[in-house]
Amino acid sequence: GQSLEQPSEVTAVEGAIVQINCTYQTSGFYGLSWYQQHDGGAPTFLSYNALDGLEETGRFSSFLSRSDSYGYLLLQELQMKDSASYFCAVRASYNTDKLIFGTGTRLQVFP
């Protein structure tokens, strides 16, 4: 089967750094995406890794190791507004861009 595993919940305080891990097992792999979703809202794109290594976008960074079938999202200088659910998603097909989503990690940021 195809599966992505993420921790169900992470808590942190404002200003801290948090890492959300994602391990995957899929029949095809063309990249790993990260999305943020606030309660009741639409997922918004954060970051994408097609190759091994670190991608940095402002306070957010994402890492991929294809040999370990593993990636993570790193959030720095946490703010209250970062409280949301974070999903990793594997791009399982290049031509159709079919995405397989993890079950999400709920991040709660406390003052």
Instruction: List interacting residues with another protein (CB under 8 A).
Output: 4, 31, 33, 41-45, 48, 50, 87, 89, 95-99, 101-104
Report d(CA 61, CA 71) in Å as an integer: 11
Smallest separation, CB 25 to another protein (Å): 15
Report d(CA 46, CA 39) in Å as an integer: 16
Report d(CA 103, CA 3) in Å as an integer: 9
Which one, 15 or 41, has the nearer CB to another protein?
A: 41
Nearest to 47 by CA among 55, 37, 39: 55
Which one, 15 or 98, has the nearer CB to another protein?
A: 98
Smallest separation, CB 41 to another protein (Å): 7
Smallest separation, CB 47 to another protein (Å): 9
Q: Which tokens go with 84?
A: 């949301």
Smallest separation, CB 102 to another protein (Å): 5
Which one, 14 or 24, has the nearer CB to another protein?
A: 24
Contact of 78 with 18, CB cutoff 8 Å = yes
Report d(CA 77, CA 110) in Å as an integer: 12
Which one, 31 or 109, has the nearer CB to another protein?
A: 31
